[in-house]
Amino acid sequence: MSSEDSTATLLLPIAISTAIGLGVDPKPFIIVVCFATPIGYQTNLLVYGPSGYRFSDYMMLGIPLNCLILTIGSLFIPKI
């Protein structure tokens, strides 16, 4: 099982119970967990060590990118 699968396995029940607790359809929450979570992504792990990146390098690019994904996802995921 890859780290992506492990992350999805752990976060999916939380996302579904959150949606049920809010009284909304859990499908958008499932989509977000499957496609918009960068936690444990294999490509990040492959380049982290050999490239000499620091965790702060991921933060500098990751925070604006996650904000963009959050905005676009909030608009389009409910429509899809």
pLDDT in tens, 1-14: 555 556 667 888 99
Average pLDDT over residues 49-56: 75
Domain range for 71 is: 3-76
Upper half-sphere CA count for residue 31 (Cβ side, 13 Å): 13
**DSSP state, 55?**
H
Structure confidence at residue 33 (pLDDT): 74
What is the domain count for the chain? 1
Average pLDDT over residues 42-55: 72
CA angle 61, 66, 10 (to 5 degrees): 115
User: Are 31 and 74 contacting, i.e. CB atoms less than 8 angstroms apart?
Assistant: no
| Mean of all residue pLDDT scores within the chain | 77
* Residue 36 predicted with pLDDT over 60: no
* Residue 19 predicted with pLDDT over 90: yes
Of residues 3, 5, 27, the one with CA closest to residue 15? 27
